[in-house]
A = this chain, B = another copy of it.
Amino acid sequence: MTQIKTKRERVKFASDNVTGACPEVLNALLKANDEDKTPYGNDELSKNLQNKFSEIFEKEVIVFPTASGTAANALALSTMTPSFGNIYCHRLSHINVDECGAPEFYTGGAKLVNLDGKNGKIIAEELNRNISGKGVVHHTQPSSVSITQLCETGVVYNLDEIKKISEITHKHDLNIHMDGARFANALVSLNCTPAEMTWKSGIDVLSFGATKNGCLAAEAIIFFKSELVGNLAFLMKRAGHLLSKMRFVSAQLDAYISNDVWLKNAKHANAMGKKLSQGLLKHKNIELAYPTDANEVFVKIPKNIIDQFNSNGYKINDDEWEDKAVRLVTAWNTHPDDVESFLNIIKS
């Protein structure tokens, strides 16, 4: 097996999913290719993921690797929500806006109840007010809550906020899911432990994202409560998400959470985000739409400046985001020079 390195191309800040895998992950994939192995996740590498994740989360967890974040979210929610259930989520949440109804499909028709909390974050009090109708046969039944960390505005929930939302959730006997597509970016932003940001703050089930932060296609559904696993193994197979050569997903995850690769990648991405954000703010006509807590920068930029960027090869779409803000995303492979080149366009 040969060690390989990835080149760094000029990055367009379009999203962190435009990147490839980091060297550690890619090397793990190559290594996993060396031998024939039992399929469907019955190989040693896949089975050992349970222990590795349990160590990282300081608690015995149950892990299901998947190749897609939408699948992770929808499968997780389908074990927590009956077909006639309510999933409480922010109006801007990925599960509500960007998954073409995957939670509805996997749950068999649950209702996503939209909340309007500030800056993309659910507010515990608003959640509390909206949980109603339990036991009344005419109403869809309150069942689960889902928050996104890092949330869709690039803002991070602090631990107190998560705890308050979890408390309300559990007070009503619901379960709470965290969509952690950018889990690592949020974690290093808060500078806390994975345990603190999840089960110690009341989270029951996590979609642990790895694709955006250095993998090719690797996510994990992580259960902090074994009783919520339910029939997930069957639901996953039935959805075509139990890959026969599952070890190649497991290999990515294994390398990703080993040797602090994931934390290193996220720290770099966040640093680049901060650099980009601060650079842009130096321009008098640019202002932040949301605080830059991690690797996503939401800025309000006048049309003529956007045109300036785009005439330099960038493709910035000012119609895509709420309040006419523009989203710029840094990643594990963003080079400081990429940021400089970008900022230089408006310096001149």
A227: shortest Cβ distance to chain B, in Å? Answer: 17
- Which residues of B lie under 8 Å from residue A19 when comparing CB positions? 36
Contact between chains at B238 and A99 (CB < 8 Å): yes
Contact between chains at A245 and B216 (CB < 8 Å): yes
Contact between chains at A100 and B139 (CB < 8 Å): yes
- Which residues of B lie under 8 Å from residue A139 when comparing CB positions? 97-98, 100
- Which residues of B lie under 8 Å from residue A82 when comparing CB positions? 231, 234
Type the 1/0 row for A70-106, where 1 means its CB is closer than 8 Å to any CB of B.
1111110000001110000000000001111110110
Contact between chains at A11 and B33 (CB < 8 Å): no
Given contacts A4-B1, A30-B26, A108-B83, contact A240 B102 (CB under 8 A): yes
Contact between chains at B101 and A140 (CB < 8 Å): yes
Q: Per DSSP, are chain A's interface residues mostly helix, strand or loop, or mixed?
A: loop
Contact between chains at B15 and A34 (CB < 8 Å): no
Given contacts A137-B234, A237-B99, A243-B68, contact A33 B6 (CB under 8 A): yes
Of A48-56, A109-117, A172-180, A262-270, which binds chain B?
Answer: A109-117
For this chain, the copies found in one complex come to: 4
- Which residues of B lie under 8 Å from residue A29 when comparing CB positions? 29, 216
A296: shortest Cβ distance to chain B, in Å? Answer: 15
Contact between chains at A105 and B109 (CB < 8 Å): yes
A214: shortest Cβ distance to chain B, in Å? Answer: 11
Contact between chains at A35 and B17 (CB < 8 Å): no
A312 to B346, CA, bound (A): 70
A129 interface residue, CB < 8 Å from B? no
Contact of A217 among B20, B67, B75, B333 (CB under 8 A): B67
Type the 1/0 row for A26-40, where 1 means its CB is closer than 8 Å to any CB of B.
100110111111111
A327: shortest Cβ distance to chain B, in Å? Answer: 14
Contact between chains at A240 and B241 (CB < 8 Å): yes
A37 to B17, CA, bound (A): 8
- Which residues of B lie under 8 Å from residue A105 when comparing CB positions? 83-84, 108-109, 238-239
Contact between chains at B20 and A39 (CB < 8 Å): no
Contact of A238 among B72, B83, B107, B234 (CB under 8 A): B83
Residue in B closest to A20 when the chains form the complex, CB atoms: B33
Contact between chains at A34 and B18 (CB < 8 Å): no
Contact of A67 among B67, B74, B108, B237 (CB under 8 A): B67
A14 interface residue, CB < 8 Å from B? yes
A342 interface residue, CB < 8 Å from B? no
Residue in B closest to A36 when the chains form the complex, CB atoms: B18
Contact between chains at B137 and A242 (CB < 8 Å): yes
What are 14 A-B pairs at a CB distance below 8 A?
A: A17-B244, A68-B242, A70-B240, A83-B104, A97-B139, A100-B234, A100-B237, A101-B109, A102-B239, A104-B109, A105-B108, A105-B238, A212-B244, A216-B248
Q: A19-B36, A21-B33, A105-B109 are in contact. List 18 more A-B contacts (CB 8 A).
A: A4-B4, A6-B34, A12-B36, A20-B248, A26-B33, A36-B333, A40-B137, A70-B237, A74-B240, A84-B235, A100-B237, A101-B238, A102-B237, A104-B109, A137-B234, A137-B237, A141-B234, A211-B245
